A and B are shown apart, each in its own frame.
Chain A
Amino acid sequence: QKEVEQNSGPLSVPEGAIASLNCTYSDRVSQSFFWYRQYSGKSPELIMSIYSNGDKEDGRFTAQLNKASQYVSLLIRDSQPSDSATYLCAVNSGGGADGLTFGKGTHLIIQP
């Protein structure tokens, strides 16, 4: 059974600092990796996707993927109070059945 593991937190980070969120996955055939942000009472919103080893940067967000270690991370630079949310890591196999397997999410709190 595919599993995605995340530290549930809460992770508390001072405003302006770098927030580092981590995720490991069990299925070695996973090909696509995603970070979703979910505010309380809202639906998940895609913020980053990554498909190959290395780093991918988009504004203040950087996703990192290491397939050998089955590890995905998300860095948020210059953290803002509006970044306070639950961050969900998700993977799929990229095959014909491409539903996502989600982790439980990490609750991030940015302290003003």
Chain B
Amino acid sequence: EAGVAQSPRYKIIEKRQSVAFWCNPISGHATLYWYQQILGQGPKLLIQFQNNGVVDDSQLPKDRFSAERLKGVDSTLKIQPAKLEDSAVYLCASSTPVSTDTQYFGPGTRLTVL
């Protein structure tokens, strides 16, 4: 079974630029999560989708971050404009509709904002 795919793996941008990350969850996984992991900290949930609907986006900085999952499969997370403090690893995870507790993480996208 293929795992969660993410791209790009690394991205370097300057502050005030825009960036987008892509995630393809495990086939059949209805629930998709985006987490932000700043160096030395645990992952922080940004947004959770159930199929193509948003379940929780309470910690998403909506003035600059947006996310979508149009067809209930792939998802895109966008930052516009980026700030220095957005430098982090952005992790996508997915889970099955049977057991939403078991989340499988992708390899992550490491973002550096200069």
Contact = CB atoms under 8 A, between A and B. Distances in A.
Interface residues of A, number: 24
Given A43-B106, A46-B102, A102 B44 contact: yes
12 contacts: A43-B91, A43-B106, A43-B107, A49-B102, A88-B42, A88-B43, A90-B42, A98-B101, A99-B45, A99-B56, A100-B45, A101-B45
Nearest to A33: B101
B51 interface: no
A44 B33 contact: no
A105 B42 CA distance: 6
Interface of B: 31, 33, 40-45, 48, 55-56, 91, 100-108
Contacts of B106: 43
B43 A44 contact: yes
Interface string A17-50: 0000000000000001010000000111110010
A45 B42 contact: no
A45 B104 CA distance: 7
A4 interface: yes
A103 B102 contact: no
Given A100-B45, A102-B43, A104-B41, A46 B103 contact: yes
